Amino acid sequence: MEQATLRTAPNSTYKIYDALFVLEEGVITPDDSFMIWDGTNHPFELSAYWMQGALKISLSILSHMGIW
């Protein structure tokens, strides 16, 4: 029960909401955020690199929204 009342950050779940919101409001378009995959499989060790990219995109979205 204690954990149910503990306030925690939504973390990655919030990125989904942000992405849907800015797409709906026209702040960004799919054309603005299109990424071409070159077909290369990247090992799991690179996930930190990709997460940094996701963070940059999230911060960019938040700045467009005037939140960050």
CA 55 to chain CA centroid, Å, is 6
In contact, 19 and 25? CB cutoff 8 Å: no
CB atoms < 10 A from the CB of 38, how many?
Answer: 4
Q: What is the DSSP letter of 2?
A: T
Helices of type H across the chain: 12-25, 47-65
pTM: 0.34
For residue 6, the model assigns a pLDDT of 76
Q: What is the DSSP letter of 7?
A: -
Give residue-wise pLDDT tens across range 24-68: 888 888 777 777 889 988 766 656 667 778 888 888 888 878 775
**Total residues belonging to the chain:** 68
Residues recognised as catalytic: 12
